[in-house]
Structure formats: structure tokens, C-alpha cells
Amino acid sequence: MQTNEQLLSALPADSTLAGRTAVVTGSSGGIGEAVARVLAASGAEVLVSGRDPERTRAVVDSILAAGGLAHPLTADLTAEPADVRAFARDAEAALGGRVDILVNNAGVYPGSRTADVTDDEMQALWATNIRAPHVLVARLAPRMAERGSGAVVNIGSWMARVGVPYKALYPATKAAIEHLTRAWAAEYGPRGVRVNTVAPGATDSLGNAKNADLLVEMAKGTPAGVPVRPVDVAHAVRFLVSDEAALVHGATLDVDGGIAATRLR
């Protein structure tokens, strides 16, 4: 099986998303980086974003080197809502005044057992995983609706569907974003804006670099048998924002190797 980087560095170019602009939050690494690179390979002009300016710039450079269009914009999405609105405004400006695609990917998954979750972790989970997507959708989806077209993908998690004894609040934020997806699909869908969720499984991303053994262990109990690669999630995002998914509204597409749906023993 090819690695994430092998696949990302040899993406075939196509014009599925040519002429469209996309904001991908948390695209300075991990799943978001793969989403940015895959959307760009399909012709979208992509706003790459994260807190780390060097990694953000490096992702932009890799897209430009592959012949795509991309711009960097750093921001901390735990900032106050007014600052997140300013980020949305600056992102729109960098993309020529129009955002066609929003991928709410930036997310954090700290914390372990309930009694050990710190106040700072609680705050980061709320601000990054729920408040920022809400602010961005509130700012950008009405403008998509005015134009009569647009697509939003929220990155959820398999953990929203399964109770596990070692994490409670993080999965709850992902259950919330899955519900926001359905509500936003109802609110904006009739005006041409499709909103969907992609729910990754245990994914071999930057944020999981220290958990490689745990990921392998978790994947052993799944039909896929191996951890999810960020690029696998990115392909699902590309489908959902493309015209091929024209009739897909409010859905959750699991890219989790079967971890949420199955038990092998």
C-alpha cells in the first residue's frame, strides 16, 4: 500500500474544481494539508491556513510546485469570534473576493479521562472544534447562498458514534459538528449550499505522530486493518465538494476503515 506522501506527491491533475476557490482550515499539516493538496490538484485555488507560518508556507509551496494555485494565511482559530470573522474576510480577499468551498478541518483532540481534562483543554476543544466552524459558516455560507452555490465540509470523527472509555469531550464536539452539518444543510441547502461531514477513523496524521503504535493497534480490529491516511480523507472531501455530489446534503461519509460500523470479533 502506498504511503500518504507517495500519493500526495504524485496526484494526477484534473479540472473537477477548476475556477473554484476553497478555504481549508488547519491545512498546515495532517488531514487538512492532504485536503488542500488534493483540492488544488483538481483545479481549486486554495487558501492554506494554520498557526505555524513556516508549515503553512511549505504546503503552499508544494501546491505551487505541483502547478496548483494556493495562498497562505496564518490564524489562531481559538481567537475571539471577531478575529475569526477577520480571518474569513482576509481569506475571502486573498481568494479574489469569493469563497466557493469551506472545509472546517482544524481541530484538536486533547484530553483523556474525564476527570483529567483541564480547563484549557475544555476551552480549546470548544473554540477550535465548534465555535470557529460556526463563525466561519455564519460569515461565508450566506454569501455562497446569495450566489446560489457553494459547499461546506466539516471534518467529524468516528468517535462521534462510539463511546470509548478514554475520551468523552472530544467525541462530543464531533457529534456537535455532525449535527451542525445537518442543521446547516437544512438552512442553506435550499439556496444551493451543500453541507456534509467526512468522519475519519484513526488517521496517521501530524497530530498522531506520537501515537503510531496505538493507531496500528486500533486498526487491527477493523476491516481495513491499517490506519487511515490523510489522503484517503481528502479524496472523500473532494467528492463531496464536487458536482458529482450534487444531491448529497447533510450526510456523514465515514473514511474510517470500518472502525465505527463493524466488529470483527
Catalytic residues: 170
The residue within the footprint of ligand NAP, chosen from 7, 23, 26, 130 (CB under 6 A), is: 26
Between 152 and 191, how does the x/- string for binding to ligand NAP read (CB under 6 A)?
A: ---x-x----------------------------------
Residue 107 sits in the site that holds ligand NAP (CB under 6 A): yes
Nearer to ligand NAP, 203 or 242 (CB): 203
Nearer to ligand NAP, 73 or 245 (CB): 73
- Sequence-distant (6+) residues with CB within 8 A of 122 are 111, 169
Residue 29 sits in the site that holds ligand NAP (CB under 6 A): yes
The residue within the footprint of ligand NAP, chosen from 50, 111, 133, 150 (CB under 6 A), is: 50
Distance in Å, CB of 71 to ligand NAP, minimum = 15
Q: Are 59 and 111 in contact (CB under 8 A)?
A: no
Q: Are 166 and 151 in contact (CB under 8 A)?
A: no
Distance in Å, CB of 95 to ligand NAP, minimum = 18
The residue within the footprint of ligand NAP, chosen from 145, 206, 224, 248 (CB under 6 A), is: 206
Between 209 and 238, how does the x/- string for binding to ligand NAP read (CB under 6 A)?
A: ------------------------------
Q: Which amino acid is at 149?
A: S
Residue 106 sits in the site that holds ligand NAP (CB under 6 A): yes
Distance in Å, CB of 161 to ligand NAP, minimum = 11
SS3 content of the chain, % helix, strand, coil (to 5): 50, 15, 35
Residue 110 sits in the site that holds ligand NAP (CB under 6 A): no
Query: Among 150, 41, 34, 163, which Cα is nearest to 98's?
Result: 150
Q: Exposed e or buried b for every residue in 129-166, given b needs 16+ CB within 10 A?
A: bbbbbbbbbebbbebbbeeeebbbbbbbbbbbbeeeee
Q: Are 234 and 253 in contact (CB under 8 A)?
A: no
Query: Among 248, 75, 13, 25, which Cα is nearest to 35's?
Result: 25
CA 237 to chain centre: 8
What is d(CA 218, CA 262) in angstroms, rounded to the nearest whole number?
13
Nearer to ligand NAP, 14 or 177 (CB): 177
Query: Among 89, 249, 225, which Cα is nearest to 154's?
Result: 249
Grid coordinates representing 145? Answer: 447562498
Distance in Å, CB of 143 to ligand NAP, minimum = 21
Distance in Å, CB of 201 to ligand NAP, minimum = 6
Q: Which chain residues interact with ligand NAP by CB under 6 A?
A: 26-32, 50-52, 55, 75-78, 105-109, 128, 155, 157, 200, 202-203, 205-208
